[in-house]
Amino acid sequence: MSRQPRRHFTTEFKEQAVARLSEPGATQTGVARDLGVFASQLKGWRLELAAAGSADAIRRQRAEAAELAELRRANRRLKEEVEVMRKASAPVGSLETVA
């Protein structure tokens, strides 16, 4: 008894297969049968895509949080620079009141 070679599926095929699950009346077993794959494979693809989607969302949130923190640091630095420039450009006679 010889084994059949392992089949490989593209990411696009997996995404389309999982998308078929959201069609009205579609079942995991029925879609898997139509595509010639095991229902467990289809379930694995669905879970894999869900995890990848949530991982992408987490990566985006972390990137946005890092960008926001960087912008806040830059804003604080610029405010300090403006304050230094404001004090430096004050008239000579008013330096005593600033200090």
**CATH number, domain at 36?**
1.10.10
* Cβ atoms 43, 21 nearer than 8 A: no
In a domain, 99, yes or no: no
Segments forming the whole domain that contains residue 75: 11-89
What pLDDT digit, counting tens, does each position of 17-37 carry?
999 999 999 999 999 999 999
In a domain, 68, yes or no: yes
In a domain, 3, yes or no: no
Q: DSSP per residue over the chain, as a string?
A: -PPPPPP---HHHHHHHHHHTTSTT--HHHHHHHHTS-HHHHHHHHHHHHHHHHHHHHHHHHHHHHHHHHHHHHHHHHHHHHHHHHHHTS-GGGHHHH-
Highest mean pLDDT among 12-16, 78-82, 84-88: 78-82
Q: Considering only residues 38 and 97, tell me which one the structure prediction assigns the higher pLDDT.
A: 38
In a domain, 79, yes or no: yes
In a domain, 94, yes or no: no
- This prediction has a pTM of 0.56
Q: How many domains does the chain have?
A: 1
In a domain, 28, yes or no: yes
In a domain, 44, yes or no: yes
Sequence-distant (6+) residues with CB within 8 A of 49 are 14, 15, 18
